[in-house]
Amino acid sequence: MALRFALLALLTAQPMTGYDVTKAFRSSVGHVWHAPDSQIYPELRRMESEGLLAARAIPWGPRSTKTEYTVTADGEAALRAWMTTPVDYPVDRDPAHLRVAYLEFADDATARRVLEEHAAHYRTQRAQHAQQLASIRDRSHPILSARLARADLADHDRIVAVKALAYEGMIARDDAEIAWATRALDVLGV
């Protein structure tokens, strides 16, 4: 269900073709809610058939067309309604913590590798999140720019603020994971 609202939220920035959605998804909302292209295209069609999106064929080259989707009034209403529903927190399912909880079954070298890879994984994530955050803050992020261009000027700061907050939260979590792995290496002495 969340995918639908991620797509809806993305498309409020501007109308886009399915292909543009897949690209824009990866560089924005996909950081908080990943989905492969093979899930996006069918979902867009379902959303169109349910009236949340309007589809328009636009010419592409001499004898082809592509489909551009626009959020309908119903779509925006659905997005606003979703905002008032409680967030449903996923149950805990964390492969890294599961692994660490049973590291007694690994030798020291393996334990070290697991923890170093954990830190490395979150350092990579952190770098990506930090880059996103920077482009949100200076408003150079392409999707954000498009969104701001269509938004009321009075809302710009709030729009930037919430997006920055989302990425700051991810970064805080990344930092917690890096610190934890570092400390674990120390505690276990591996």
Binding mask 14-53 toward a copy of itself (x if CB under 8 A, else -) reads: ---------------xxxxxx-------------------
Closest approach, Cβ 104 to DNA, in A, equals: 23
Burial 150-182 (b: 16+ CB within 10 A, else e): eeeeeeeeebbeebeebbeebbeebeebbebbe
Cα-Cα-Cα-Cα dihedral of 26, 29, 30, 35, to 10°?
Answer: -110
Distance CA 157, CA 145 (A): 12
Binding mask 145-164 toward a copy of itself (x if CB under 8 A, else -) reads: ----------x--xx-xxx-
Match 């009034």 to its residue by tokens: 73
- 87 contributes a contact to DNA by CB under 7 A: no
* One-letter amino acid for residue 160 of the chain: V
In the complex with DNA, the residue whose CB is nearer, 37 or 168, is 37
- 42 contributes a contact to DNA by CB under 7 A: yes
Judged by CB under 7 A, the residue of 85, 87, 89, 91 near DNA is 91
Which of the choices DNA, a copy of itself, none does residue 112 contact, using the CB cut-off of 5 to 8 A by kind? Answer: none
Which pairs from 18-23 meet CB under 8 Å and 24+ separation?
18/44, 18/66, 18/67, 18/69, 19/66, 21/69
The site for a copy of itself (CB under 8 A) is made up of: 2, 5-6, 9, 12, 29-34, 76, 79-80, 83-84, 86-106, 110, 114, 117-118, 121, 155, 158-159, 161-163, 165-166, 168-170, 172-173, 175-177, 179-180, 184, 187-188
